[in-house]
Each structure stands twice: as structure tokens, then as C-alpha cells.
Structure 1
Amino acid sequence: MIAEEAVARYGFSPDTTVELLNVSENETYLVRDADLTAVLRVHRLGYHPPGAIPSELAWLDALRTEAGVRTPRVVAATNGSRVVTVADPAGGPPRDCVLFEFLPGREPREDNLVADFEPLGALTARMHQHARTWQRPPGFVRFHWDADAAFGTPAGPGRWGAWRAAPGIGPAEEAVLARLEATLRDRLRRFGSGPDRYGLIHADLRLANLLVAEGTGVSVIDFDDCGFGWYLYDLGAALSFVEHLPEVPEVIDAWTRGYRSVAPLSAADEAELWTFVLLRRLLLVAWIGSHASVDIAVELGATYSRGSCELAEKYLSTHS
């Protein structure tokens, strides 16, 4: 299989084991031998333009060395390559692969979000401060998470598909979510995309991409979706799949306290926090619709669409 072909490029011992961890956008594998435990990412096809994966790795390195953000180190192949392109033994197109060090820890627990989100807010602010001042290397390329990428244009759907194609979207649900999309587009336009509000972000700081370990704080993994977007979108992403919990207002307050302990957050920014929670939520509705074979999409299905309508109605009652 592709993963085993990739692992062969790293000089591991014959006793090395390769175990599938997850299939979502990419395939990830746990690689173990006597001297090293690592995580192999086999990239999906057609998601990134040339140069995007090395650009991701450059920011991941810079955050660790310049901003003190704990991120996984990239393990180079025996020929020094950080991105390994492997032929598909089954005859499909070649796949790009990256090997990362394995970082210990657990993802934040849903029953402890208030406590975990204050340090997460501070960590996010440090990442944003770094992004605002970092001199990106020549050839740096990452995509944008703007409104057109989220919702699409007349020429085609957004990056994760069309929310209208999600399970459970009938005429009533479509009417509510269409009002939500229109309001989000308008508020984002008015909010603007100046350099103080829009820049390089992780874009997927959900709980599964955070590792809490005793003595080392929070580690950030999986920068595969990093790109240019509104800084506050990182809060919306952090609340992925838990936006409905009754304690979320308290969680957002904790995140805001943590953020302000490192960097300013204006009243105008704070007024749009729920805009970015709902922006991410609608993106996830589209994602579920375009990833019908992924376990979490199957699990959430139409229930997530209906819950999104409830959140949208609540948001629209106070935001216009």
C-alpha cells in the first residue's frame, strides 16, 4: 500500500509497523519502530496546488522556533526530502506524503472546555501575532478561507461543497440557512479583510487537532487546512461540533480572556465572534454533505443540519 511504500523511504527497520489511524480528508498512519514513533500523512489528491505543502511545513517550523508554539517536527526521508511523492501500487496517481514526529497528549475534553479554552485563546493569539509579522519565504502559497471559498460562487460550490446538498436540507431548512448565508456574507463584507483582521491562520483548531499533555501545555497538529482567512475564524473552528453545547457562551468568554492576555481584541472583533462560529458551522454542514463516507459525517448527518437551523435562528434574532 502507499503508506508502506512511503515508510520505506525513511530507513526504518524491517520490524516497523504501519497502522491506519484515520481516514478523513487525508489518510494518517501510526508508524512505529524500535527508535521512533511517528505519524504519516498521505495527502488526498487535488486539494493543494504545487508548493502548498512545503509552505505549510515552513509555517509549522516557524511557529515552533520563533513563537514557542509546540508543533510536530517534520521527519525527513533518507534523501533529505520533507515531502515524499510515492507511486500508487494499485496504479492510481502518485501521492504526496509527510512524516511527523508523534506528540503525546489528549484532545481537550468536552466536559472541561471552559478550563481548556482560556489557554487556547492565549495560544491562538500568539499564533496570530506571529502570522502578522512573519516574513513568509519566497514561493509561499496557501489558499484562502474567504466567503467565496466557504459558500461558493455562480461558477461553482465552495471548497467543501454546497451546504444545500447536506442531508436533512429540505425547503424549510434551506430557507433558514439561505438567510444565514446572506447575513454572514454581509457582516463579513462590513467587517472587512484588512491585515489586522485577516491573515494566515490554522483554520482547523478543532479539539481533535489539539493535544493537552502534562508539563508541556497544548500542542497544535494538522496544519493541512492552514491558509489565509479571518483571524477570528480560528475560534469558530475550535468550536467545531460542540457549538450547540449550553456552556459555549462561557467557553467563548474564557477564550476571549486568554486571547486578551496576549493580544488586543477590539469591541468590534468581539461583536463578531458568533459570526465566525456560525460561518464555521455552515461550512461543516457543507463538509458533511460532501463527505458521506466519513464516519463523523455519517454519525451527524441530518441531525447536524437541523441543529444548525436552530443555531441560525438564534443568531439571526440578534444579528442582521
Structure 2
Amino acid sequence: MLPRRAQLARARAVATSALREYPMPPGRLTFLTHGENTTFRLDCDDGRFLVRVHRPLRHGRSLDPHVAIGSELTWLRAIASGADVGVPEPIETRDGSLTATGAGGDWTRVCSVLRWVEGRIIEDFTHPVHFARLGRAMATLHHQADTWTPLPGFARLTWDHEAFFGDVMVYGTLRASECWELLPRALAERFDAVRDRLGPVMANDADVGLIHADLHLGNVVHHDRTISLIDFDDSGTGPRVYDLAVALWERRDEPEYPMLRDALLTAYRKVRPIDTTHLDDYIAARQVAFDLWYTGTAQVDPAFADRLDVVHRWSADMLDLLEAAPPSLVTTP
């Protein structure tokens, strides 16, 4: 495992290399996060920007990263022009491309740049109004996708049963099947049960289309009384109710959960209908996906490795909660 400091040094060199392809003048590059991708904030005379250094095979083993990331940014442009919801603005290179390739040491990575979204992220001490705003924005996003036809060549991950439970994804540097093999045996058996349960559920889910796929409050920027949705890196075609499940997943074990759930769903349904009969099943799918991702990332990032056992225990506790819960009282449109 390459030490974290060495990984960050390579990522910074990659970002610096890729930025030469963009029209912004040089500026100060500040490290932000190192997980799924590595991100930096660029402050320069032209303003503030988010620089993303994308992990190889981030979007599965079959998609060209330039095409996948370019498609993500194409959707952002369509949302900005056709929906009443804030999203980041993609920045083109000097030659009009939405992505650039950067090199640093022995790393070569695809990079992209977005204009910085001003505001604040509210994840702690949330109120139902925050979930109501998110529900309304999420439904607006889904409605935009229902009415938008991408141009030929658009390609994003398909969040189907195989993507969640098969061998489509690569986490860290490991195929999903290799991550399954690293799970504690008892937990793997419980994940197998979720996989089997979700098979017919997903096969019969008709409300499928473009989704954000990671739309929790950590990816919502609040400014005054408006919100912007950020981090579309997981976006693809999948069940719409999965976006709702992601928004509620980390709050599922909190006493305030029913109130937050109802605020989210009530606001969503003012824009478009949705059936949430299997909401808890999709929350279970999210838990499985998160644990597999964390397991793979822990093999290449010491910070993740230190907390892997904690995440496994949380997954078991979450499945206990979901399996003991009565059917949801808020289901059909």
C-alpha cells in the first residue's frame, strides 16, 4: 500500500499537470478530500474552482472514464439549463473538452474542473426543513431526467442488481468479487440474503431513470434559502427510490427518522409520485454497497483500514434494525 502522504503528493502533481489544459491562471491549490476521488480547491484570479482527480475504474470495468465523466458533466449542463435546481458548472479545457489527463510520478489520471459552489453543508443538527428542501430538489432532478434525452454517446453506470451485488464495480483496486471475499463470513452471508431479496424487487421496479445515487445531505450546499446539489460522480441509471434511500440511510437508526422521512417524501411527492414500499430494502442495498466500497478502499488507504471493523459492525447493526422494522407506513404515491 502506497503511504497516504505519497498518494496525496502524486494526486497534487496530477492536478497541477491537468490544470495546464484549462484557461484559468495559476493559483493556490488546497487539498480537500482523498477517498473515492482526490479533490482540491483552486483559488485564482478567475475565481474559485473544484479540481477532481478521478480514481481509475471509478465507474466500473467497462466504461471509458473520459466518456463517463464527460457524460456526468453533460447532464449537469442540462440540469442547469432545464430545471430549477442548482448544480455545479463544468469548466472546459482550452480545446473545449470536459476532461483532461494529468500525470504525476507514476500516476496518470483523468481530471475535471467545476466552478465552486458557495454555501455551507449541513449534516449535523438537521431539521425536517432540510429534508423537505432535499426532497423537492430530488424530485425536480428526477423530473428533468424524465423529460431529457441525452445525445448519442452518453454513458453512465447502470445501477442494476449486477452493479450492486455482482462484479461490475472496482473498489480501491479490487474487483467487487474480491471485496466480497474479504468480508467476515457471517456478514457476507447476511449480504447474500439482501442480494437475494433485492433480485425480484429491482426486477419489478418500473420507476428507473437517471439518478444522483449519492444524494445525502453531505452533497447538498445551502445558501440563504436555496440549495445546490453537488458530487454527481456516482450518477447513473437506476431506481429512483434508491436516491430516497441514500438520503435517509444514515438517519435510519435515529429517533427522528420517521419525521425526517415524512418531510422528505411529502416534499418529493409534491413534484412527482413515487412508490416507497421497498424503501428499507434499498437502504439495505446502500449498506451493502457502502461496506463493499469501504472494504476495497481500506486496502489502499490506511485511514479507511483503521475503521474497517467499525464499519462491518455498523453494517450488521443496520441490517438488524431493518429486519426488525415493521413495514413502512408511508409507501405508495
Q: TM-score range by the shorter chain?
A: 0.7 to 0.9
Give 1:3's aligned residue. 15
SS in 1 for 2:107: coil
SS in 2 for 1:70: coil
1:294-305 pair list within 5 angstroms: 294=301, 297-298=304-305, 300-305=307-312
Give 2:238's aligned residue. 229
CA RMSD of aligned residues (A): 2.3
Give 1:306's aligned residue. 313
Query: Which of 31, 53, 67 matches 1:20?
Result: 31
Give 1:62's aligned residue. 78
Cα drift, residue 8 of structure 1? 2.1
Give 1:47's aligned residue. 58
With the length of structure 2 as denominator, give the TM-score of the two structures. 0.83
Give 1:30's aligned residue. 41
Give, in whole Å, the separation in 2 of the partners of 1:4 and 1:52: 22
Cα drift, residue 241 of structure 1? 3.8
Give 1:144's aligned residue. 158
Q: Decide whether aligned partners of structure 1 residues 237 and 297 sit closer, same or farther in structure 2, where only a CA change above 3 A counts.
A: farther
Give 1:254's aligned residue. 263
SS in 2 for 1:80: coil
SS in 2 for 1:137: coil
Q: Decide whether aligned partners of structure 1 residues 296 and 185 sit closer, same or farther in structure 2, where only a CA change above 3 A counts.
A: farther
Q: Aligned residues: percent identity?
A: 29
Give 2:248's aligned residue. 239
Q: Decide whether aligned partners of structure 1 residues 2 and 158 sit closer, same or farther in structure 2, where only a CA change above 3 A counts.
A: closer
Q: Decide whether aligned partners of structure 1 residues 271 and 19 sit closer, same or farther in structure 2, where only a CA change above 3 A counts.
A: same
Give 1:291's aligned residue. 297
User: Residues 99-136 of structure 1: CA distance to partner in whole angstroms, max 9, x if unpaired?
Assistant: 11001122223321422111111111111111111111
Give, in whole Å, the separation in 1 of the partners of 2:93 and 2:216: 29
Q: Decide whether aligned partners of structure 1 residues 78 and 175 sit closer, same or farther in structure 2, where only a CA change above 3 A counts.
A: closer
Give, in whole Å, the separation in 1 of the partners of 2:79 and 2:272: 16
Give, in whole Å, the separation in 1 of the partners of 2:121 and 2:301: 20
Q: Decide whether aligned partners of structure 1 residues 73 and 295 sit closer, same or farther in structure 2, where only a CA change above 3 A counts.
A: farther
Cα drift, residue 147 of structure 1? 1.2
Give 1:316's aligned residue. 323
Q: Does 1:214 align with 2:195?
A: no
Q: Does the Cα contact within 8 Å between 2:213 and 2:246 map onto a contact in 1?
A: yes
SS in 1 for 2:120: coil
SS in 1 for 2:30: strand
Q: Does the Cα contact within 8 Å between 2:57 and 2:170 map onto a contact in 1?
A: no
User: Residues 56-76 of structure 1: CA distance to partner in whole angstroms, max 9, x if unpaired?
Assistant: 111111111101221111122
Give, in whole Å, the separation in 1 of the partners of 2:127 and 2:196: 31
Give, in whole Å, the separation in 2 of the partners of 1:224 and 1:157: 16
Q: Does the Cα contact within 8 Å between 1:21 and 1:28 map onto a contact in 2?
A: yes
Give, in whole Å, the separation in 2 of the partners of 1:302 and 1:91: 31
Q: Kindly provide the amino acid, as one letter, of the partner of residue 219 in structure 2.
A: N
Q: Kindly provide the amino acid, as one letter, of the partner of residue 100 in structure 2.
A: V
Q: Decide whether aligned partners of structure 1 residues 23 and 110 sit closer, same or farther in structure 2, where only a CA change above 3 A counts.
A: same
Q: Does 1:105 align with 2:126?
A: no
Query: After alignment, is 105-114 or 229-238 more displaced?
Result: 105-114
Give, in whole Å, the separation in 2 of the partners of 1:102 and 1:132: 27
Give, in whole Å, the separation in 2 of the partners of 1:36 and 1:295: 34
Q: Does the Cα contact within 8 Å between 1:166 and 1:302 map onto a contact in 2?
A: no
Query: Which of 121, 144, 167 matches 1:130?
Result: 144
Cα drift, residue 159 of structure 1? 5.0
Q: Kindly provide the amino acid, as one letter, of the partner of residue 94 in structure 2.
A: T
Q: Does the Cα contact within 8 Å between 1:166 and 1:288 map onto a contact in 2?
A: no
Give, in whole Å, the separation in 2 of the partners of 1:130 and 1:61: 12
Q: Decide whether aligned partners of structure 1 residues 198 and 295 sit closer, same or farther in structure 2, where only a CA change above 3 A counts.
A: farther
Give 1:278's aligned residue. 284
SS in 2 for 1:75: coil
Q: Decide whether aligned partners of structure 1 residues 46 and 187 sit closer, same or farther in structure 2, where only a CA change above 3 A counts.
A: closer
